Amino acid sequence: MNDFEQLGLQPRLVISEAELRAAFRTAGKTMHPDGGGSEIGFSNIQAAYSLLSSPAQRLKKWLEVRGAEVQLRGQIDGDLVDLFSEISQVLASSQELIRRRESAQSALAKAILEREVHSCMERIEQSIGQIDEAIFQQCHDFSAIEQTIMIDANTLSARYRNLVFLEKWRAQLNSTFSQMLA
């Protein structure tokens, strides 16, 4: 049983978060140990939910269900390389600021850094916005892709790789933002 079937969904690229949550709740009613299911069964639907929440992993699973081989190795698009250059600078300056704040000995030294921390957090939020927009651009034609008869596995594998990197960068930015809050 594939991840879509585990949640009672047809293999599709376009699945709203609300639809995914509803499918998880429905499957959870029968798969949860308290509902007559097993821990393994419930764990499987949790894994399916987590996987299908990721546009990259949903694309990969959709391709696999359609019998297309996903090429995991390869390059990402050039515009994403440029975006990564910007993101890496934000991450590096954020980590340096976190180190400086952690090594600050006095309340005054920490207070002096607060304006810089606030500015850095704004840059992180802007970067997350850029990542979200890039993910949207990668996913915007999923509906049309679902309707195609002939799948271009190479092009969709490249899109998969792009999405994997974008999701990874978003997770790094979110983690760094959380560290800034501490």
Residue 94 reports pLDDT greater than 90? yes
13 has a pLDDT exceeding 90: yes
Residues 9 and 15: beta-carbon distance below 8 Å? yes
Whole-number average pLDDT of the chain: 94
* Mean pLDDT within 152-170: 96
145's CB contacts (< 8 A; 6+ apart) are 13, 151, 156
Residue 96 pLDDT level (bands cut at 50, 70, 90) = very high
* Residue 119 pLDDT: 97
Report the pLDDT value the prediction gives residue 53, as an integer from 0 to 100. Answer: 97
Q: Is 54 exposed, middle or buried (CB count within 10 Å of its CB: 0-12, 13-18, 19+)?
A: middle
What is the distance between the alpha carbons of residues 43 and 50, in angstroms, rounded to a whole number?
Answer: 11
Smallest Cα–Cα separation from 91: which of 162, 165, 180, 167?
A: 180
Q: Please state the separation of Cα 172 from the chain's center in Å.
A: 10
Q: What is the percentage of the chain residues whose pLDDT exceeds 70?
A: 100
Question: Is residue 13 within 8 Å of residue 145, measured between CB atoms?
Answer: yes
pLDDT of 120 higher than 90: yes
- The band of 32, judged by pLDDT with boundaries at 50, 70 and 90, is confident
**By CB neighbour count within 10 A (0-12 exposed, 13-18 middle, 19+ buried), where does 108 fall?**
exposed
Which run of H or E residues covers position 18?
helix 17-31
How far apart are the C-alpha atoms of 114 and 94, rounded to whole Å? 13
Q: Give the model's confidence band at 157: pLDDT under 50 very low, under 70 low, under 90 confident, else very high.
A: very high
Q: What is the mean pLDDT of residues 92-97?
A: 97
Of 114, 94, 93, whose CA–CA distance to 104 is shortest? 114
DSSP characters over 136-165: HHHHTTHHHHHH-SS--HHHHHHHHHHHHH
Percent of the chain with pLDDT over 90: 89
Residues 54, 86: Cα–Cα separation, whole Å: 23
User: 0.85 cut: is pTM over it?
Assistant: yes
pLDDT reading at 36 higher than 90: no
In this prediction, residue 34 carries a pLDDT of: 85
Question: Is 1 a residue whose pLDDT tops 90?
Answer: no
